[in-house]
Chains A and B, each alone.
Chain A
Amino acid sequence: MSALPEVGAEAPARTRTPSALDLFMFSASAWLLHRIHYDTPFTTEHDGHPGLLIHGPLQGVYLVQTAESWLGEGARLRSISYRHLAPAYLGDSLECGGTVTGADADGVEVELWARKTDGTVTTTGKARFEKR
Chain B
Amino acid sequence: MGVITEEARRWANREYPRFEMQVTATDIAKFAHATGETNPIHFDREAATAAGYPDVVAPTLFPYVVRMHASALVPPEELEADGSPSADVPPLTTRRAMAGETSVVFGEPILAGDLITVEKRLAQMYEKEGRSGPLVFVEMEFTFTNQRGELVARESFTRLYR
Contacts and interface: CB of A to CB of B under 8 A. Distances in A.
Interface stretch (A3-11, A76-84, A101-109, A110-118): A76-84
Contacts, number: 99
B82 A58 contact: no
Nearest to B157: A57
Given A47-B82, A81-B102, A83-B101, A60 B34 contact: no
Given A47-B82, A61-B35, A77-B106, A32 B100 contact: no
B61 A34 contact: no
Interface in A16-73: 16, 22, 25-26, 28-36, 39, 42, 46-48, 53, 55-58, 60-61, 64-65, 68, 73
B60 A57 contact: no
A33 B72 contact: yes
B102 A60 contact: yes
Contacts of B14: none
Contact of B65 (A25, A29, A36): A29
Main SS at interface, chain B: mixed
A35 B83 contact: yes
Interface residues of B, number: 35
A84 B99 contact: yes
B18 interface: no
A29 B60 contact: no
A30 B68 contact: yes
B98 A65 contact: no
A80 B104 CA distance: 5
Interface residues of A, number: 39
B34 A29 contact: yes
B34 A42 contact: no
Interface string A77-96: 11111111001000000000
A47 B83 contact: no
A25 B34 contact: yes
B82 A46 contact: yes
B97 A58 contact: no
Contacts of B51: 73
12 contacts: A25-B30, A29-B65, A34-B84, A47-B96, A56-B99, A58-B35, A61-B59, A77-B60, A80-B102, A80-B103, A80-B104, A84-B99
Given A32-B72, A33-B84, 13 more contacts: A22-B36, A25-B30, A25-B33, A25-B34, A29-B33, A34-B97, A56-B98, A57-B99, A64-B61, A65-B37, A80-B104, A81-B101, A84-B98
